[in-house]
Structure 1
């Protein structure tokens, strides 16, 4: 890896005061100084003190810059605001609930540098207890999403092998391979590729914007690749599964995704 390589990091926040400090500290501590990372945060009009917390952290680190939004634009549209300000050739899209492990950023950037067609490199995501989060997926189908979200237990048991394939268990989480659907929890990206497709589709307020971006990139000839040597911890709340509002937003985004890319039932 060359010392000329430059990186920026983009984070979108919304009422994340309980976790944003740990995330920012892990990024500052575990991304080497020679990469000269700039951390740009777009806050979606948080009301819990998140902007004030970020301002305090930015005073301790010259790497952090806060952009305070006046309204909640949603995940993708806010990240597009960040992308407008990116000058680095590589840009990391990062959730506010990620803990960066030592060496992860270097491994992801090495993957991007290994092939100029790679637009996105994603890490291995771990739960706080150290178990693997199975966030690698093929392109979603309506049946797969139904099995994961709404099917009764007996039906999930009947189609256990299909669920396991949707979670890419047959490929595993210890080898490198191309992904159809790369998780937006953390994406190390080639800035040129993001701009080639216009960033995220802002019509997705939350959920499926990463599936859509992955597909848009691949339609333009870019690759999305899983890099298991890069490891992060993801403090995942799974709000689409645990509250009514998250479920409604997830269903609305799924409808938008299939209307755009085709109603693949099975």
Structure 2
């Protein structure tokens, strides 16, 4: 489907000189958030933005916190104050109810007039150089509309969150089989998770599907796509958005942009999440084509 190339892929340089005064918006959708993880995320945003300011650019940033329910400003008051000290404006969007992950982000995407937009999960810790490297890579590669980072787990091992187009069997094995049984499908899962090309060194061009936990977009591309498809309440909205992005721009996995993800799979979150996962999978395959094995 896509030309995945690492042979001569350039690497982003942490010391790249950023041109102009880029503007960034960030959207976080929260629903009954883990306050500790949310504060960690905001701390990492603050540190990464402080590093951006050290590059000498007059960059501007605006954080949108989309409250889908169960969020209290007081729980993160200290972190919001730290962001303000780094000249990051912030807005809490609320009163719309629990509209789902993608529609929540769309509320922020519709409002922003930034040059770049970061879709971020509230359980992500960004590396201090993540924003500098993401900005630098997009400025150096104007054909790229979306950057996806190297995502590590809590034990500093790579989470293979880039994907090839999935068969139903891939989703079932990865999402629902216990690890002792997954070993029987290791070769198949390795191909689905692009383990043959994803590593901590090389840029990978045009991975078909990337994770929605950290998507660094040119805002113009994101607006032309009208953000996430609102028909997905939760799960597969990032699969859909990834595949549609390829129609307008290139996508790049850039391992110098790094983050830690503390999230978990649908099968570990109970029956309600399994039901949403299956419903979204049906929508996805009806849109892009069924593949069973």
**Pair in the same fold by TM > 0.5:** yes
Give the corresponding residue for 1:44: 68
Would you say the 8 A contact 1:30–1:102 is kept in 2? yes
Would you say the 8 A contact 1:42–1:69 is kept in 2? no
Q: Residues 127-161 of structure 1: CA distance to partner in whole angstroms, max 9, x if unpaired?
A: 12211111111122212112223457786444321
Task: Give me the whole-angstrom Cα distance separating, in 1, the residues matched to 2:91 and 2:68.
Answer: 14
1:64-213 → structure 2 map (5 Å cutoff): 64-151=90-177, 156-174=182-200, 175-177=202-204, 178-213=206-241
3-state SS, counterpart of residue 253 of structure 2: strand
Would you say the 8 A contact 1:240–1:250 is kept in 2? no
Which residue of 249, 270, 278 maps to 1:251?
A: 278
C-alpha change, 1:69 and 1:118, in structure 2 (3 Å) is farther
C-alpha change, 1:55 and 1:203, in structure 2 (3 Å) is farther
Task: Give me the whole-angstrom Cα distance separating, in 2, the residues matched to 1:12 and 1:153.
Answer: 30
C-alpha change, 1:152 and 1:127, in structure 2 (3 Å) is closer
Which residue of 259, 263, 266 maps to 2:290?
A: 263
Task: Give me the whole-angstrom Cα distance separating, in 2, the residues matched to 1:196 and 1:247.
Answer: 31
Task: Give me the whole-angstrom Cα distance separating, in 2, the residues matched to 1:253 and 1:6.
Answer: 33
Would you say the 8 A contact 1:54–1:66 is kept in 2? no
- Say yes or no: does 1:25 pair with 2:43: yes
Would you say the 8 A contact 2:153–2:159 is kept in 1? yes
Corresponding residue pairs, total: 263
Give the corresponding residue for 1:225: 252
- State the Cα RMSD in Å: 1.9
C-alpha change, 1:67 and 1:52, in structure 2 (3 Å) is farther
Give the corresponding residue for 2:15: none
Task: Give me the whole-angstrom Cα distance separating, in 1, the residues matched to 2:175 and 2:32.
Answer: 26
Give the corresponding residue for 1:10: 27
Residue range with higher mean Cα deviation, 148-157 or 105-114: 148-157
Give the corresponding residue for 2:3: none
Task: Give me the whole-angstrom Cα distance separating, in 1, the residues matched to 2:105 and 2:20.
Answer: 27
3-state SS, counterpart of residue 134 of structure 2: helix
Task: Give me the whole-angstrom Cα distance separating, in 2, the residues matched to 1:100 and 1:154.
Answer: 31
C-alpha change, 1:224 and 1:53, in structure 2 (3 Å) is same
Would you say the 8 A contact 1:13–1:41 is kept in 2? yes
Q: Residues 57-83 of structure 1: CA distance to partner in whole angstroms, max 9, x if unpaired?
A: 434533222112341011000100000
3-state SS, counterpart of residue 18 of structure 1: helix
Give the unaligned 5+ runs of structure 2: 1-17
Give the unaligned 5+ runs of structure 1: none
Task: Give me the whole-angstrom Cα distance separating, in 2, the residues matched to 1:231 and 1:261.
Answer: 30
